[in-house]
Amino acid sequence: MTTLIVAGVAVVGVAGCGGSEGSSATGTAGVSTSAEAVLWDPCTEISDELLAAAGVDPGTEESGVGGHAQSGWEICAWDARDFSLTVYTTDKSVEEFEQKPGNVDFQDVTIAGRPGRQFKVEGASKDLGCDVVFPATQGIVQLEILNSPLETGLEDPCVYLARVGEVLVPIFPN
């Protein structure tokens, strides 16, 4: 059930930032191409050991949104008993996230020594979720926590996010 809710939130977040058609990437020889930027893939780059240390079950991994790849994004999600974790990468900027209607309550945070912008997504699950975007050379890396709507008395999702972030953020690309 949590995965379905995360997929719904992810679709809202992904759809709202647009595609990356026409983006320009620099190849290994420094030659500019019109190919889509190669993004860091959280599904392959985050080890099972780190996921377990972050409190999620590596066996629940789901790539994309509902198992479907999203153009211009790398997305991977995992579940825990009380929350789900999703890590996104895209070539979008932090400013694009700040300008997207529905993204609210932005504030500066530092997690594992890395500055980012924490925010919420308006809607029915606003109080269940917490997101942070970290600028990176490729664009951004986004960390999202969504509390289970089936559990009561859970910690604020931003508390979970900070705890999970201390484990995962050190391996995020700069």
pLDDT digits (tens, 9 = 90+) for 35-54: 556 899 999 999 999 999 99
Q: What is the pLDDT of residues 144-169, one digit of tens each?
A: 999 999 989 999 999 999 999 999 99
Q: Model confidence at 32, in pLDDT bands (50, 70, 90)?
A: very low
Q: Which of 116, 123, 130, 139 is nearest to 83 (CA)?
A: 130
Q: What is the mean pLDDT of the chain?
A: 85
Residue 173 half-sphere exposure toward CB, CA atoms < 13 A = 17
Q: Is 55 a residue whose pLDDT tops 60?
A: yes
Who's near 17: CB < 8 A, 6+ residues apart?
90, 92, 96, 97, 100
Q: What is the pLDDT of residues 86-125, one digit of tens each?
A: 999 999 999 999 999 999 999 999 999 999 999 999 998 8
pLDDT > 70 fraction of the chain, expressed in percent and rounded: 79
Q: In the prediction, which pLDDT does 124 show?
A: 87
Q: Is 11 a residue whose pLDDT tops 50?
A: no
Q: What is the DSSP letter of 171?
A: G
The percent helix, strand, coil of the chain (3-state, each to 5) is 30, 35, 35
At residue 44, the 3 state secondary structure works out as helix
